[in-house]
Amino acid sequence: MNQRIIRYSLWLLIAGAVPACKTQAPSTTASTKVSQSQGVYQYRDEDPSVKPFFSDRVGVMGRNGMVASAHPEASQVGLNILKAGGNAVDAAVAVQFALAVVYPGAGNIGGGGFMVYRDQAGKAYTLDYREKAPGRATQNMYLDSLGNVIPGLSISGHLASGVPGSVDGMVEAHKRFGKLSWAQVLQPAVDLAAKGFALTERDALGLNRIKTDLLKINPGKTYFLKSAAPADTISWHKGDLLVQADLAKTLQRIQGQGRAGFYEGETARLLAQEMVQGKGLITEEDLKSYHATWREPIQAKYKEYNVITMPPTSSGGVALLQMMRFTEPYPLRKWGWNRDSTVQVMIEAERRVYADRAKFLGDPDFVKVPVSQLISPDYLRNRWTDFSWAKATDSRNVKGGMIPGYESLETTHFSVVDKEGNAVSITTTLNGGYGSRVVIGGAGFFMNNEMDDFSVKPGVPNMFGLIGNQANAIAPGKRMLSSMTPTILEKDGKLFMVVGTPGGSTIITSVYQTILNVIEHGMTMQQAVNALKFHHQWLPDKTTFENGAFSEATIQALQGRGYMLEKLTNTLGRMDCVLVRPDGTYEGASDPRADNTARGY
């Protein structure tokens, strides 16, 4: 056994030493077979490893500012902006654009996202810059004449894209809260694109992996292809310089003209032209009429904490609060981290919450989403009445809850805190890694495949296995439902935690577990990020878990109660978080599962 595994086992042993609560049904040793993967979205692209993931990475400490993001170059850009006198929003805008250059798999200007912002005085804001369905989109656009879903159409190629929101989101955020000039916060991204940056090993692997699609969708016209050699020839290597001249010009237009540099003029023309060539739907008119939307944050208490999170169009905030409130009455701390009782109540919470997600959640500009009812204690109590310690609830018997009067009808996260305590939590996405794989000719950036986040047909799972209904049906100008959960926590009225992650449907459960790891299980921010995670999303009715997340005893006990468990060959989450420690220092925690890096000072 290597050193890491020994240390990890020690941690499990300590976690497992806490006695279980008396209300818990006795563990049994009966065992059911661990099921095979059923096509759940595999987030990790490298070879699955049989070894449990383990990291003893420690957090980065700082007093004056902290940036945690998916890429070291982007975190450095954010830190430089803070050091140059910029505030958290300036740094966040700079990081969003830097990620669009150095992290093309998910960082973007061709996608969208959500920002949760809490200023130093404690006032909170959220900005919805999620993509929208193009004006010519129709509810059944991904179905054939027999009403069946055409595989891949909402995932790959020009038809898969929604109208991008990232640039307008950043313009809005900066206009309202930025301190440095727009030109200054854009400059690092322009430089990275024009002069190039050295690929990390993971950057190179990512681009090599999509070579077939790049050759098919963008033949002969993109610098993301190092050579036109056959798809099975490795092209990119660690240390290669990726220069993105077209993207540099696009970023300069945005730098010089603000939103018009993207939604009008040359960039809009190139984007619309690309869509015509590839039979996509987005027009110059769609671009011109896109606007990000400020929304009232959802805020709710959990014990002594105040949770500030994203309202719909994300489902993440509502779902996170539902889960936290379902489990709040239970002594998780006493039971211990990932002990069977702890895991059981968390799985049952997750199951019920994802059923509600499928029934109720959609774009609030189009459907009425009963947010306050969904997180109300009375409603949640009712949803819990069929919980049993003896046996797993059967997802087939779980439907979305009843609300009187209700009519049915590759992502990345970064966290920034500045010297004054202004805090930004942003999750932004193209949806799948490198989105639709369409690169806008002449403008040099990837487009999203966010249309797959709509429910393309009621009850038919999307690429994350999520199902939905009328509330999330496609309509022109509508935003597709999201799981992204950028969140900020306060304790005693002060900034406490900035948290978020990519991971599709698993975003919400990873954020939930990371928060509980700190506030219930006493972990540091970095330990909470390092800790192994699990996931249940109602359907399919199984709990997936990172290899090593559960001890043998937990596995035996849960299987004995009828829980279907599936050990993942990939990992869950790529968290980037900041915790404010009691002495006021910031602990930056970045996910050791990838290139994520925290930088502080």
Please identify every residue annotated as catalytic. 411
**75 within 8 A of 67, measured Cβ to Cβ:** yes
Compute the least distance from the CB of residue 15 to ligand DON, in Å. 27
Nearer to ligand DON, 186 or 575 (CB): 575
Give the residue with the Cβ less far from ligand DON, 344 or 487. 487
- Maximal CA-CA distance, the chain: 67
Sort strands 305-309 and 412-417 into parallel, antiparallel or unpaired.
unpaired
472 near ligand DON, judged by CB under 6 A: no
From 151-159, 272-280, 336-344, 498-506, give the range in contact with ligand DON by CB under 6 A. 498-506
Q: How far is the CB of 367 from ligand DON (least distance, A)?
A: 17
Q: Does 503 bind ligand DON (CB under 6 A)?
A: yes
Between 319 and 523, CB nearer to ligand DON: 319
Contact range with ligand DON by CB under 6 A, out of 152-160, 198-206, 290-298, 478-486: 478-486
Interface of this chain with ligand DON, residues 197 to 256, rule: CB under 6 A = none
Measured from the CB atom, the residue of 160 and 204 that comes closer to ligand DON is 160
Residue type, 391: K
Cβ atoms of 361 and 470 closer than 8 Å: no
327 vs 427 by CB, closer to ligand DON: 427
CB 139 within 8 A of CB 475: yes
Q: Residue 594 half-sphere exposure, CB side, CA atoms within 13 Å?
A: 29
Q: Report which of 75, 37, 61 is spatially closest to residue 414, judged by C-alpha positions.
A: 75
CA 515 from centre of chain: 15
Q: DSSP per residue over 59-82, as a string?
A: PEEESS-EEEESSHHHHHHHHHHH
Q: Which of 200, 395, 422, 482 binds ligand DON (CB under 6 A)?
A: 482
**8 A C-beta contact, residue 577 and residue 499:** yes
Which 437-466 residues touch ligand DON, going by CB under 6 A? 450, 453
Among 318, 507, 539, 572, binds ligand DON (CB under 6 A): 507
Instruction: Give the HSE-up count for residue 488: Cα atoms under 13 Å, Cβ half-sphere.
Output: 30
CB of 474 to ligand DON, least distance (A): 15
**In terms of CB distance, is 62 or 113 closer to ligand DON?**
113
* C-alpha dist (Å) from residue 316 to 30, 83, 323, 523: 35, 32, 10, 23
Query: Which 352-411 positions form the footprint of ligand DON (CB under 6 A)?
Result: 410-411
- Is 518 a residue that touches ligand DON (CB under 6 A)? no
H or E element in which residue 525 lies: helix 525-530
Q: Which residues contact 420 (CB under 8 A, 6 or more apart)?
A: 87, 120
Q: CB of 506: closest distance to ligand DON in angstroms?
A: 8
Question: Quick check: helix, strand or coil at residue 538?
Answer: coil
Of 251, 216, 246, the closest CA to residue 230 belongs to 216
Using the contact rule CB under 6 A, the part of the chain among 79-87, 157-165, 186-194, 479-487 near ligand DON is 479-487
Stretch that binds ligand DON, among 271-279, 376-384, 502-510, 543-551 (CB under 6 A): 502-510
Residue 431 as a binder of ligand DON (CB under 6 A): the answer is: yes
- Chain residues binding ligand DON by CB under 6 A are 43, 410-411, 429, 431, 450, 453, 482-484, 502-504, 507
